[in-house]
């Protein structure tokens, strides 16, 4: 903020720093997406309590639609806002792996809720998707059958658990940067720095 055209770029990314909007999108999607993993698991282990299971399903669906909407907005914002330069010095291989992980996680935050939407759309139960009891989400135009529902359910679970594993690696990498390499990879995800201050590892800020 010190060198910043005060507050001018608070929501926009610049230099090596993420803007407030990018950070908000990141943490909102991250928190909701990770919360969905145990919630989705609980929907599968509460068959003996059908009322609770039904409620869990509705929360899971509602949060899933929220994740999908936020992820779509996040990508649109990324396209508009651009990405700041990498904060840490890294080998080409590390950069490649980081890019692949990031793109895969972006895709997962879209594909996992989309396959969930497909389950609701393909199910012969025809349970309406009424997100947070506020927004009626129409079904996707697709075949309705028990087999189709089972297919999308399996794909949804596989993608979700793979994404959870990737998210765990992503978190571990962030912690490695912070505690072992002591660079600003994690800290720049925790606060916005409108001036694009130099990072601890001395890499210069990007000039926009």
User: Which spans of this chain sit near other proteins (rule: CB under 8 A)?
Assistant: 49-51, 54-55, 58, 124-128, 130, 133, 136, 138
CB of 137 to other proteins, least distance (A): 9
- In sequence order, the 6+-apart residues with CB closer than 8 A to the CB of 103 are none
Nearer to other proteins, 130 or 161 (CB): 130
Nearer to other proteins, 93 or 136 (CB): 136
First vs last Cα of the chain: how many Å apart? Answer: 16
CB of 128 to other proteins, least distance (A): 5
Nearer to other proteins, 93 or 147 (CB): 147
CB of 61 to other proteins, least distance (A): 10
Nearer to other proteins, 16 or 61 (CB): 61
8 A C-beta contact, residue 29 and residue 202: no
Computed from CA positions of residues 146, 55, 59, 62, in that sequence, does the dihedral angle turn out positive or negative? positive
What does each C-alpha distance from 154 to 109, 119, 164, 172 come to in angstroms? 17, 9, 15, 27
Mutual angle of helices 20-44 and 92-122, in 10-degree steps: 50
Burial of 64-95, coded b for 16+ CB within 10 Å and e otherwise, reads bbbbbebbeebeebeeebeebbbbbebeeeee
CB of 127 to other proteins, least distance (A): 7
Nearer to other proteins, 58 or 187 (CB): 58
CB of 32 to other proteins, least distance (A): 21
Q: Is 121 helix (H, G, I), strand (E, B) or coil?
A: helix
């Amino acid at each position: 903020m010190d060198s910043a055209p005060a507050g001018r770029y608070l929501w926009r990314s610049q230099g090596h720093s993420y803007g407030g909007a990018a950070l908000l999108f990141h943490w909102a999607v991250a928190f909701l997406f990770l919360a969905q993993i145990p919630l989705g698991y609980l929907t599968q282990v509460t068959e003996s309590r059908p009322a609770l299971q039904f409620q869990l399903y509705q929360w899971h669906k509602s949060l899933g639609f929220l994740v999908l909407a936020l992820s779509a907005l996040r990508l649109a914002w990324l396209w508009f806002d651009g990405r700041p330069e990498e904060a840490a010095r890294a080998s080409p291989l590390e950069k490649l792996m980081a890019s692949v992980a990031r793109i895969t996680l972006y895709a997962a935050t879209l594909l996992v809720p989309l396959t969930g939407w497909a389950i609701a759309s393909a199910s012969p139960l025809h349970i309406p998707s009424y997100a947070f009891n506020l927004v009626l989400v129409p079904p996707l135009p697709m075949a309705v059958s028990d087999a189709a529902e089972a297919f999308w359910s399996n794909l949804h679970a596989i993608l979700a658990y793979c994404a959870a594993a990737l998210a765990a690696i992503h978190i571990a990498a962030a912690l490695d940067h912070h505690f072992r390499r002591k660079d600003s990879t994690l800290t720049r995800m925790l606060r916005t720095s409108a001036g694009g201050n130099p990072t601890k590892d001395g890499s210069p800020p990007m000039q926009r």
